[in-house]
Homo-oligomer: A and B are copies of this chain.
Amino acid sequence: MTAVFGHLNPDTDAITAALVYASFLRRTGREAQAYRLGEPNRETEFVLRTAGVDLPPLLDSLPEDSAVALVDHNESSQSLPSLATLNVTHVVDHHKLGDLATNVPVYLRFEPLGSTGTILAKLHREANLPIEQTDARLLLSAILSDTLHFRSPTTTPEDREVATYLAQIAGIADVSAYAGGMFAAKSDLGDIAAEKLLKMDYKVFEFAGRPYGLGVVETTNPGYVFGRKAELLSAMDQEKAKSHLAGVVLSVVDILNETNRTLVLSATEELMLREAFGANIEDGVADLGSRISRKKQIVPVLEAYFEGQ
């Protein structure tokens, strides 16, 4: 039995990719079960609810040497804490290759595309396996979520083409209206605790050997998030201490206007953002302009910055 899961603090791509890839593995003759490594955000809840699909079970540990398939991530800091004791047999991802290494040959499929969903749709096509209607809906949702409905610079022509194909199978005639529903659900943050808001789409990266927490809130209503700035800074401070991080930032991405204004906790993060991005910083908020993709516009810049130190 292969356990299939996406990253910690799962987003729509991480959860739908686990569900669809587990189904793909089963349909191609392997026993597989989808899991999640955390609570879904409201966008993902909306996607699963409207698709009539149950959440995959929460996973916190597995017996040593269990076979696992990673989707939508490959770095140990974003995975099950016991990953080093497990047997990674498959990885399907669209992120940079981090600290993954294996003792034996395995299956890896990485493509620089907008979402893992796009790659999974291609895997079905290549295997001449028809995509089921529900799976098409899940994969389309992943593409719309990760590319912010094609607004993100991570969007490729292949993402658009595959999304059109999936929308037909899923029977979603008005993709814009559906994406609007997803983003409205994601932006409905009313009663979420500040710690949860910080962790909703949050990943830890190693730069120059030290861990940094990079959170993102994608919302159609950034004013609401900035209204909770004091609470959020306190949550960031707690998390930095608790997890022994070198820095924590929280990017508030305005989905509709495609801007990124990032909450800065202390002088450490301020220096990093000013030097790495030349960012203008006022009242603890760094203006990162139109850098709305953490993967493509934030992480590589920080990596280059720390490598040059």
Interface of A with B (CB < 8 Å)? Answer: 94-113, 125-126, 295-296, 300, 303-304
Q: Determine the main DSSP class of A at the interface with B.
A: loop
* Residues A103 and B295 in contact, CB atoms below 8 Å apart: no
* Residues A96 and B107 in contact, CB atoms below 8 Å apart: no
In the assembled complex, how far is the CB of residue A277 from the closest CB belonging to chain B, in whole angstroms? 16
13 contacts between A and B (CB under 8 A): A95-B105, A97-B102, A97-B106, A98-B101, A103-B303, A105-B111, A105-B113, A105-B296, A106-B110, A107-B110, A107-B111, A108-B110, A126-B126
* Residues A101 and B97 in contact, CB atoms below 8 Å apart: yes
In the assembled complex, how far is the CB of residue A155 from the closest CB belonging to chain B, in whole angstroms? 13
Copies in the complex: 2
Closest 8 CB pairs of A and B: A108-B110, A105-B112, A126-B126, A97-B102, A96-B102, A108-B108, A103-B303, A103-B300
* Residues A107 and B112 in contact, CB atoms below 8 Å apart: yes
* Residues B96 and A106 in contact, CB atoms below 8 Å apart: yes
In the assembled complex, how far is the CB of residue A152 from the closest CB belonging to chain B, in whole angstroms? 13
Contact residues in B for A304 (Cβ distance below 8 Å):
103
The chain B residue sitting closest to A110, CB to CB, is: B108
Contact of A97 among B100, B109, B111, B295 (CB under 8 A): B100
A108 to B74, CA, bound (A): 12
A107 to B108, CA, bound (A): 10
* Residues B104 and A108 in contact, CB atoms below 8 Å apart: no
Known: A97-B102, A103-B304, A126-B126. A109 touches B112 (CB 8 A): no
A275 to B106, CA, bound (A): 27
Known: A97-B100, A98-B101, A101-B98. A109 touches B108 (CB 8 A): yes
In the assembled complex, how far is the CB of residue A95 from the closest CB belonging to chain B, in whole angstroms? 6
Contact of A103 among B96, B99, B111 (CB under 8 A): B96
In the assembled complex, how far is the CB of residue A157 from the closest CB belonging to chain B, in whole angstroms? 12
Contact residues in B for A96 (Cβ distance below 8 Å):
101-106
